[in-house]
């Protein structure tokens, strides 16, 4: 599975009003492991950046003046993302800007070049309803080190997003081994009669049981009261 974590920085907030992309950062992941392949551009937007935007990313008009135009890097960008799943935090923002840049070149919209686009902000809101779900907030919550992020940067943010995504999706999809899988090197599994095993039962202490109840209460709050166990009949 090939995934690209993508972020952009822009001159402002509205591509419809002429704001442009000034930085693109892409980080590649193959089968949930960083490949080491990244793509990064600074771009000349051919217009001035809004003052508030510069305060966020720190990319001045003077710094961007000698950088390439989007038109000169478009083919390289589209080749890099071709056929991959693209993961973006608040995808509508970045995709809207990329679509507008491609429109200026008479090219199809960005989603047409990729397998699919996953919005990690939507994922975070599903997992942590009612909580702050900015990239900084997720880094704090999931213990991802973002101490180098004094300003927004597309490549830095794409790398942080990759780490956040892994921690948000770290559960295994399945514990089932396909009995029909005869791939080379897989040893045959001998059936085990668990009825013959004398398994010890370790009971929780009062303190551990109390701590467990607190965790369940917090989970119930975080889900907005949608936890399943609240609606199950007790087993006697």
Domain assignments of the chain as residue spans, ordered by start: 2-168, 205-236
Mean pLDDT by 10 residues, the chain (236 residues): 96 95 97 95 97 93 97 98 97 98 98 97 96 95 86 91 94 40 43 60 79 77 69 58
Pick from 158, 161, 81, 88: nearest CA to 118: 88
pLDDT at 204: 81
pLDDT at 21: 98
152 is catalytic: yes
pLDDT at 180: 44
Residue 146 has phi, psi (to 5 degrees) of: -120, 30
Predicted TM-score of the model (pTM) = 0.71
Measured CA to CA, the distance from residue 105 to residue 68 in angstroms comes to 15
Specify the CATH class of 2-168 in words: alpha beta
Say whether 186 sits in a helix, a strand or coil.
Answer: coil
Measured CA to CA, the distance from residue 43 to residue 111 in angstroms comes to 21
Active-site residue, selected from the candidate residues 40, 57, 89, 152? 152
């Amino acid at each position: 599975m090939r995934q690209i974590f993508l972020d952009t920085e822009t001159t402002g907030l509205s591509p419809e009003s002429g704001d442009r992309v000034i930085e693109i950062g892409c980080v590649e992941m193959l089968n949930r492991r960083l490949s080491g392949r990244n793509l990064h551009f600074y771009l000349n937007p051919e217009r001035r950046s809004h003052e508030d935007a510069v305060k966020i990313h720190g990319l001045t008009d003077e710094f961007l003046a000698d950088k390439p135009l989007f038109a000169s890097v478009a083919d390289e960008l589209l080749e890099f993302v071709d056929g991959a799943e693209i993961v973006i935090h608040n995808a509508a923002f970045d995709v809207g800007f990329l679509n507008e840049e491609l429109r200026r070149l008479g090219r199809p919209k960005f989603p047409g070049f990729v397998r699919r686009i996953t919005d990690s902000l939507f994922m975070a809101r599903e997992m942590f309803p009612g909580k702050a779900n900015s990239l900084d907030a997720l880094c704090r919550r999931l213990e991802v080190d973002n101490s180098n992020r004094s300003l927004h940067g597309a490549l830095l943010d794409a790398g942080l997003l990759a780490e956040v995504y892994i921690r948000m999706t770290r559960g295994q999809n399945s514990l089932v081994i396909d009995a029909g899988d005869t791939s080379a090197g897989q040893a045959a599994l001998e059936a085990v009669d668990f009825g013959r095993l004398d398994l010890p039962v370790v009971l929780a202490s009062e303190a551990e049981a109390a701590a467990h109840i607190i965790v369940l209460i917090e989970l119930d709050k975080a889900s907005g009261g949608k936890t399943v166990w609240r609606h199950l009949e007790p087993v006697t």
